[in-house]
């Protein structure tokens, strides 16, 4: 087994630790993976775990390293956008989320659209929020998250579904 295989095994072990709620152990596995063979995935997931511990600046730094390693990987762009939103930097978050929507390698593809919707809701740009949430629904019609957020937004806008175009009301 080679170094890359060992690094991949540690990455998978980190993912397993994360799925079991073992954040500190996941962080250690991702760091070990990076020591053997740095990958965009390991840096991104390390950043994600660090964000759970409130270490948003370090999470952003890890995602920027991931982007340097693989600029086509969309997850770190989306994650940076989310971390910036958590810090209240919505304008800065928008550009990172846009880049996530354009990335060649990204799953789940609809997340940056949902997060852009959240940015626009926070900025009270409701028309733009609706457009992004509709894009998320187009990309992943079976995922309920964008529909739920769109329903909440419609209710916030006086619950008046009559004001929304039929094409959007059908999505609700």
pLDDT digits (tens, 9 = 90+) for 28-83: 999 999 999 999 999 999 999 999 999 999 999 999 999 999 999 999 999 999 99
Rounded alpha-carbon distances, angstroms, from residue 53 to 22, 25, 59, 143? 12, 13, 10, 27
Q: 3-state DSSP call for residue 22?
A: coil
- How far, in Å, CA of 87 to CA of 107, rounded? 24
Averaged pLDDT, 12-30: 98
Neighbours of 166 (CB within 10 A): 7
Averaged pLDDT, 113-137: 96
- At residue 79, the pLDDT reads 98
Are 90 and 122 within 8 A, CB to CB? Answer: yes
Judged against a pLDDT cut of 70, whether residue 107 lies above it is answered with yes
Residues linked to residue 73 through DSSP beta bridges, in sequence order: 105
Closest residue by Cα to residue 108 from 150, 136, 132, 131: 136
pTM attached to this predicted model: 0.91
Question: Running DSSP on this structure, what letter comes out for residue 137?
Answer: H
Are 105 and 74 within 8 A, CB to CB? Answer: yes
- How far, in Å, CA of 152 to CA of 148, rounded? 6
Closest residue by Cα to residue 30 from 48, 42, 17: 42
Residue 157 confidence class, pLDDT cut points 50, 70, 90? confident
């Amino acid at each position: 087994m080679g170094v890359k295989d060992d690094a991949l095994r540690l990455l998978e072990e980190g993912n397993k630790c994360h799925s079991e709620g073992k954040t500190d152990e996941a962080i250690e596995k991702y760091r070990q993976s990076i020591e053997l063979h740095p990958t965009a995935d390991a840096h991104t997931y390390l950043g994600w775990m660090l964000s759970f511990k409130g270490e948003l600046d370090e999470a952003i730094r890890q995602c920027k390293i991931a982007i340097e390693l693989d600029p086509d990987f969309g997850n770190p762009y989306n994650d940076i956008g989310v971390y910036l939103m958590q810090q209240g930097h919505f304008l800065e978050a928008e550009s990172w989320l846009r880049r996530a929507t354009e990335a060649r390698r990204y799953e789940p593809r609809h997340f940056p659209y949902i997060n852009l919707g959240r940015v626009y809701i926070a900025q009270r740009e409701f028309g733009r929020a609706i457009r992004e949430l509709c894009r998320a629904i187009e990309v992943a019609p079976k995922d309920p998250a964008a529909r739920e957020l769109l329903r909440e937004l419609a209710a916030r806008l006086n619950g008046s579904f009559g004001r929304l175009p039929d094409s959007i009301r059908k999505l609700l």
